[in-house]
Amino acid sequence: MGLNGLVLRNVSGYVKKLKIVGQWREHDLEEFSKRGRVPDSSIMLNTLVRVAIERSTNLRDLSDPRPIMIVPPLPSLVALKVIDVDPLCYVDDISLLLAESTNLRELKIVWSPRMREMREPSVNLSTMFGRCQSKSRPLTLRRIAIKNLFTYTADDFCESIYDFSAVEEITVINSTGALGDAGAAAFIDSPLRKTGPTFPSLKLLRGDKVSRDLQHLLANTTGLEKLYLIGDKRGTNYDSPSTYPRSPSSNGSSPLSDLHSSSLRDDTIEAIAQNHGQTLRHLLLPPQWRLTSDNVALIVRNCPNLEQLGLGAEFDRFMSMRLLMPFLQKINAIRVLDNPDSSDFRDKMHELDDGRHEKQIGGATSKNEWSRFRWMELADLVFEVGKTELMEDEEGATPGKMVYRRRVWKRDAEAVKDIAIWKMDSMDV
């Protein structure tokens, strides 16, 4: 009914944001895909959506769970998100939209996970971005997000489809050749391997894989403000060959072996501290990285403007880390992440009852240097830190003595879901 209204009523000219949601299922889709034919019901839907978009001449923001046959150019379009892209099942074409929407600044593309699961390199980026290349008109994107990409790409192709110097935010999730997979095969892979400053305007970088390409990028750029390395979220067997499908041109290396490499960890942390320390405000490191005292000290000494920090450390490192945290004068949230390979840290945190945690956190954060601090996570335990109050010391050397301590409450995960260091720790784009 909503699309019908846009097509038949004189309201489409007022629409600036259009989000198409809901479930759409075709019968016998597998049979249609084998024959290379699009179901009739999809053709009807695509026609209706295209007409609605064409009539919405002032449209600036479009989100569609299924792209349509040929999406027309939208001169006013600023943000585009396309999900469930699968070229073998649907002959979808957004190339004209990308080439002619000259005001486009934000692009999010989520491919169907089917290609990666089946290791099927059926995605051809030249079909999607070829018009940009042929017109010598690279996209001036500020924010790029891709997920589930599995494809071949020539190194020089990326240079002709988007302007590296304009990019401010990059998110790459479960995508070949991105922040972890081996092989020259992705939308963002080529610039990661270039020498010199590749993304001079980059402020935010987020991904679920770590590699030498990522370390190289961090060592050859400056000025990052937010870095979120979220680690593996699938909970699958690390030795399973299907956990991370290798790229079409894989050299046999594994992103998971990279993730557990102490040399890569140390080199990456050094690049972060030396090149981005003065500007970095948010830092989330993979939970598989169990940081040493030297790692933590390097971050604290070189990143004085950190406001939110998430890292992995075992119990003894966590205790020594408490001595360094007051040097982070602007810190308001800290996550000490659980170890996905061992339950030792989580078990130690659960050995203490909630009241003991609350008293210890309240006492440790009562000094002025912790004045901005509000949130703490220990493994899977979340605590909110309130104001400093004068209260009775029940367990000190002098029971009954009045001491200053901050009020602390245990909270559930819902309380922190909108705080960046938690919100960005997901596989969503």
What average pLDDT does the structure give for the chain?
80
Q: Which contacts qualify for 338-344: CB closer than 8 Å, 24 or more apart?
A: 338/287, 338/312, 338/379, 338/380, 339/287, 339/288, 339/290, 339/312, 339/314, 340/231, 340/232, 340/235, 340/287, 340/288, 341/288, 344/314, 344/315
258, 279, 153: which is closest to 212 by C-alpha? 258
Tokens of 175: 């995508």
Contact (Cβ atoms closer than 8 angstroms) between residue 109 and residue 146: yes
pTM: 0.80
Is residue 193's pLDDT more than 60?
no
CA 417, 420, 426, 429 dihedral sign is positive
Average pLDDT over every residue of 196-225: 88
Dist CA 199 CA 197 (whole Å):
6
pLDDT in tens, 44-87: 777 777 777 777 878 888 776 665 567 778 888 999 999 888 88
pLDDT score at 359: 87
Dist CA 150 CA 3 (whole Å):
33
Amino acid sitting at position 141: L
Average pLDDT over every residue of 158-168: 84
- Split at pLDDT 50, 70, 90, the class of 235 is very low
pLDDT in tens, 352-377: 888 888 888 888 888 888 889 999 99
Tokens of 389: 């109050």
Choose from 44-53, 250-259, 318-327 the range with maximum mean pLDDT: 44-53
Is residue 206's pLDDT more than 90?
yes
